[in-house]
Structure formats: C-alpha cells, structure tokens
A and B are shown apart, each in its own frame.
Chain A
Amino acid sequence: MDSQSSYTYDDLPWHLIVPALQGELSPEESLQFDEWLAASPVNREKYQRLLHVWQEGIADYSIYLNADESQAWEALRGRLGDAPVIRPDFRQRSSSGRRWAVAAALLLIAGGAAIFYNRKEDGVRYETASGQQKTVALPDGSTIILRQQTRLRLADDYNRNTRTIVLLSGEASFDVAHQQQRPFVVDMDAASVKDIGTSFTIARTADSIKVVVASGKVAFTKKETGETRELGAGSSLCLYTGTTHHGEISTTDSAGLLRFDNSPLSDVIAALQKQFGKNIRLGDSTLAQKRLTVHLDGESLEDAIRTVCASLHLDYSSDETGYILKKKDYKIK
C-alpha cells in the first residue's frame, strides 16, 4: 500500500482531494485545489460526488457493519411458526450443529411449546418458563411433565447405559417405564431418587426437595449420609437442603397427597383423576389456570369436587363418564 502507484490510478489529483475531504489542505494546496476545481465543471462534479459520499453517502456504515443477516434470519425463522421452512436437502447441507440447536429452539418456541432445547456435550436440557408446562416423551417410553419454571437435563447417553436425569430446579412428574437393567434415576446433588417402576413428582427448590409418589415405589437416597428410604404409592418425603433444618427429612403417608398450595386447577384435577381413576373435565379450558389452595386428604371424590367448586365459585355435574366442572350459571341456580 505504500507505493506511489495508487496515485496514478486515474487523472484526479488525489493528493489534493484527500486533504480537501478531510479539511486538511494547507494554504498552498488550497490554492492549487481551487484552480483544479475552476478548471472544469467535470472536476467540480467529480469532487461534489465524492464529497457527498464522504459526508453523507456512507454515514450509516456502522449499521451495515453490525448488520448480521444470519442472526436476523434466525429471528425471522422463529416467527414463521410451523411453516415448512426446512427442506430435507437443506438439512443435509447444513454443517453447523449449533445452528441447528438454535433453529430447533426457535421453532419449538414458535410452535407454542414452552421448552428450551439445547444440545451440549453434557446432554439435552429442557426448561419451562413461568406459567408454562411441558410433557417430554423419552426414548425409553417414560414421560416427564415439567411444571412451570423447571429446568432439567438428560445425559447424552440416556437410555444406553443409564437413565439419569438431573433435576436442576423446579418441579417435574415422572412416569417411568421400568427397566430392571437400567434403573431410572433422578439426581439432585443432595439426593437422588431411583424408581422401582412408578410415577412420581419431585419439586426442587433452593432449600428443599420434595418427592411425591403416585404409584409404584421409589428409593430415595440422601447422598450426605447414604441413608436410603423406600417410598410407596401415596407417600411423600421432603428433604430440607437449606441452612435451617438442614438434612432433616419429613415424610407423609398416603394421606397428604391431595394438598395444594396456590396450584392451578389443572394440577388439582390431574391429582384427583389419578387418585380416584375417574374422568374429570372442564367446561371451559380457561378454568385450568385458576389457582387454589386446598387440602383434600381423606375426602371422597364427590366431596373433593364440591370443595374445589366452592373455593373457585364453580358448578359441577356428573354423568357416566365422570365429572364436568364449569362456571356458575346463575340463571339456573
């Protein structure tokens, strides 16, 4: 670049034009430059054109520089919903795994699923946001329901040698397809839960781990001491992991399952259905998000439904298929 050759690219007096554009002309150069401009309208036009480019024509170069069409495309793709943007041949051409992870995440979000999917060396992560719930079907036939604000991770080799899931935070219900050779283990740093053919729910907070077993049996292990307890259907256990009551365990047997604290009606109904084996429906799907705090331990199904309806100002009816909950109809009552 240090050669003089660039000066001879064309007949323009670049040694004057450059300092003129930058306002760095010496008095002597200034005179020469004025002479050159005055010599021909073509000169003036050429300089004006360059001056315009220099001053205005390239003013938003930083926007161009920072524009990232790939990032913009990913943002766009997230908004295209379930449109068939991905063609099979496109998939083969794409060499970047990371790009696919991002795309998958965007597509899943666009599809309404409240799930975050991110494949890293340490496995697959699932995450739900506030107010969202997601069911994950695992390759071994087991199912996980992530309640809101839950994060968990599956080992990359899940279902090969082991079936380990790390519950990082939040609450999840597990319906496990039992395999004698490959136990299903939920790991939570302070404790682990090993299924013995069952469905159960674990809620992990900063200072507690609560396990509720709906059916079958699980083995709960407190890692600090190696202490293991078996929990049967209908029982629950809480291990305190915070500073107060650290390491203490409380358990509840069969009763204590149907206790809800500010839970969505959908959870209450799911628990009642599981407990009583009856179908309970909602007349209006918006009711599912209504929240209630209620203890239904030891109540009959009819009594439990009556209690739920009373606390949410609902009506219910029953037929041979089960119960239907709906908004109160004041005209009939």
Chain B
Amino acid sequence: MSPEEDKIWRSIQRKDGEAFELFYKDHYKFFLLAACKYLGDAPLAQEVVNDVFVRLWQDAERIDIQSSLKSYLYRAVVNRCLNELDKTKRDRQHFQELKHRPEETAEWKEMEDNELKLRLYKAIDDLPEQCRKVFRMSRFEELKQQEIADRLGISIKTVKNHITHALQQLNRVLDEWNTLPMVLALVKYFFGHH
C-alpha cells in the first residue's frame, strides 16, 4: 500500500467519516464504471459499490489489506458483481462469459483499463464546452459532420476542428498513459503482493 493510501486506510479504520467520504467520492466513478462493465446497469452498479463501501466502513477494524486499498475494493466489487449475476442470471450469455473471476493478471489489466477510461472521460470533461458538445454529437449521437454543423449553425470546418481537437486530447491521454511505466510497475507491484 502506498504511504498515501495507508494514511487514508488508517483514517477509515479510525472511523474518520470525512476521510471516508473523500475517498469514496474520489473513487466512486472508478468503481461504478467497473461494476457497470459486469452488470450493465448503473443503479444496480451503484448498489453494489455502496454494498462494498458499507462493508468496508462497518468491518474496517477487522479487514486486513495486504495489497492496495483500491485493488482490494476492486476485487470486492468484482466479486459482488459476480454474485449479483449469479443471483439474477439476468443475461445468461453475458453471465457465461463473465462468471469466472478474472485471473490475477487479467484483473490487473481490467483495473488498468478502467483507470485509463476514467482519464479519457476526464479529458472529455475538460474540453471547451462547444468542442465537447460537437464531440458528443459526433460520437454518441452518431451524427455526420454536416448534420452537426446544421444543428449548431456553425461551419463544417469548425466541426472538424472541434472533433480533431477532442481526439487530440484523447490521444494525448493515451500517450501519457503509455509513458507511465514506473507508475504501472508500482501498481502491478502493489497489486501482485497479496
């Protein structure tokens, strides 16, 4: 566990509600996206994440975390998702694919992908408003460049520029991510030592 995480974890064990709240809010989206990947249902995913955090809070004194707090919680969320799928068998095919808990290396990869995704989303959040709007219309509403230009009353060239800028920002996140071998090695190190 990193010194920073260790400090947070000790605070939570001491029943420091403020530290717990901050940690929760900082990591909520990370775990929500992870749970959604398994469950495909945001309200259920929130319930699962909250279940895990309720248990963390209530049993904090008895929980012994050998790896990192984040990977401990990630594993707990995944396990809880698998239980949920088992219970509801809501999507048999999906369930078949996912019912085995991921191998350790795959789990680490999943967590890493999830972290990258979060960074990409934060980069989208950070785009200038009009740029973000154009990008969302292009990617999520699947509108053609001309359609976006017509709807927003801007030139097609501006639309292209906005989309280009957005993709460049995402590409920058990818570049940064791939040049973080030290950080990743550390993550792997903490994750690998149970």
> A residues engaging B (CB < 8 A)?
1-3, 6-7, 9-10, 12, 14-15, 17-18, 21-22, 24, 46, 49-50, 53-54, 57-58, 60-67, 69-70, 72-73, 75-76, 79-80, 83-87, 89-90
Query: Would B168 and A57 count as touching, CB distance under 8 A?
Result: no
In the assembly, what is the distance between CA of A73 and CA of B28, in Å?
A: 9
Query: Would B161 and A69 count as touching, CB distance under 8 A?
Result: no
Query: Would A85 and B20 count as touching, CB distance under 8 A?
Result: yes
Q: Give residues 82-130 of B contacting A (CB, 8 Å).
A: 116-118, 120-121, 124, 128, 130
Query: Would B24 and A18 count as touching, CB distance under 8 A?
Result: no
> Contact string, B23-57, partner A, CB cutoff 8 A, digits 1/0?
01100110011001100001001100110011001
In the assembly, what is the distance between CA of A269 and CA of B167, in Å?
A: 73
State the main secondary structure of chain B at its contact with A. helix
Query: Would B54 and A53 count as touching, CB distance under 8 A?
Result: no
Query: Would A72 and B28 count as touching, CB distance under 8 A?
Result: yes
A-chain residues with CB within 8 Å of residue B138 when the two chains form the complex: 22
A-chain residues with CB within 8 Å of residue B54 when the two chains form the complex: 76, 79-80
Residue of A at shortest CB range from B128? A1
Query: Would A70 and B25 count as touching, CB distance under 8 A?
Result: yes
A sample of 30 inter-chain contacts (CB < 8 A) reads A1-B130, A10-B171, A12-B171, A14-B167, A14-B168, A15-B160, A17-B167, A18-B164, A22-B144, A46-B171, A49-B174, A50-B171, A54-B167, A57-B120, A58-B117, A58-B124, A58-B139, A63-B33, A67-B28, A67-B29, A67-B32, A67-B33, A67-B42, A72-B49, A73-B24, A76-B50, A76-B53, A79-B54, A84-B17, A87-B18
In the assembly, what is the distance between CA of A70 and CA of B22, in Å?
A: 10
Q: A69-B29, A79-B54 are in contact. Are A7 and B164 (CB under 8 A)?
A: yes
In the assembly, what is the distance between CA of A46 and CA of B170, in Å?
A: 12
A-chain residues with CB within 8 Å of residue B165 when the two chains form the complex: 1, 6
How near does chain A come to B54, taking the closest CB pair, in angstroms? Answer: 5
Query: Would A89 and B50 count as touching, CB distance under 8 A?
Result: no
User: Count of A-B contacts with CB under 8 A?
Assistant: 128
In the assembly, what is the distance between CA of A147 and CA of B171, in Å?
A: 62
State the main secondary structure of chain A at its contact with B. helix
How near does chain A come to B161, taking the closest CB pair, in angstroms? Answer: 5
In the assembly, what is the distance between CA of A83 and CA of B61, in Å?
A: 13
B-chain residues with CB within 8 Å of residue A46 when the two chains form the complex: 171
In the assembly, what is the distance between CA of A24 and CA of B157, in Å?
A: 14
B-chain residues with CB within 8 Å of residue A58 when the two chains form the complex: 117, 120-121, 124, 139, 170
Query: Would A64 and B158 count as touching, CB distance under 8 A?
Result: no
In the assembly, what is the distance between CA of A67 and CA of B25, in Å?
A: 11
Listed residue (B24, B36, B116, B164) with the most chain A CB atoms within 10 angstroms of its CB:
B164
Which of these, A9, A61, A80, contacts B168 with CB under 8 Å?
A9
Q: Give residues 166-192 of B contacting A (CB, 8 Å).
A: 167-168, 170-171, 174
A-chain residues with CB within 8 Å of residue B124 when the two chains form the complex: 58, 61
Query: Would A50 and B170 count as touching, CB distance under 8 A?
Result: yes
* Beyond A2-B161, A12-B171, A64-B118, 19 extra complex contacts between A and B, CB < 8 Å: A1-B158, A1-B161, A2-B155, A3-B161, A10-B171, A18-B164, A24-B144, A46-B171, A60-B33, A62-B140, A63-B45, A64-B33, A67-B28, A69-B25, A69-B28, A72-B28, A76-B50, A76-B54, A79-B54
In the assembly, what is the distance between CA of A79 and CA of B55, in Å?
A: 10
Query: Would A86 and B17 count as touching, CB distance under 8 A?
Result: yes
In the assembly, what is the distance between CA of A9 and CA of B175, in Å?
A: 13
Query: Would B21 and A53 count as touching, CB distance under 8 A?
Result: no
How near does chain B come to A168, taking the closest CB pair, in angstroms? Answer: 32
Listed residue (A62, A66, A69, A75) with the most chain B CB atoms within 10 angstroms of its CB:
A69
Query: Would B145 and A72 count as touching, CB distance under 8 A?
Result: no
In the assembly, what is the distance between CA of A63 and CA of B28, in Å?
A: 12
Query: Would A14 and B25 count as touching, CB distance under 8 A?
Result: no
In the assembly, what is the distance between CA of A272 and CA of B131, in Å?
A: 73
How near does chain A come to B176, taking the closest CB pair, in angstroms? Answer: 13
In the assembly, what is the distance between CA of A24 and CA of B163, in Å?
A: 13
In the assembly, what is the distance between CA of A24 and CA of B149, in Å?
A: 15
In the assembly, what is the distance between CA of A80 and CA of B160, in Å?
A: 49
Is B16 part of the binding interface, using a Cβ–Cβ cutoff of 8 Å?
A: yes
In the assembly, what is the distance between CA of A2 and CA of B161, in Å?
A: 6
Which of these, B18, B20, B36, B174, contacts A63 with CB under 8 Å?
B36
The 3 closest A-B pairs by CB, nearest first: A85-B17, A69-B28, A69-B25
Query: Would B18 and A14 count as touching, CB distance under 8 A?
Result: no
Is B15 part of the binding interface, using a Cβ–Cβ cutoff of 8 Å?
A: yes
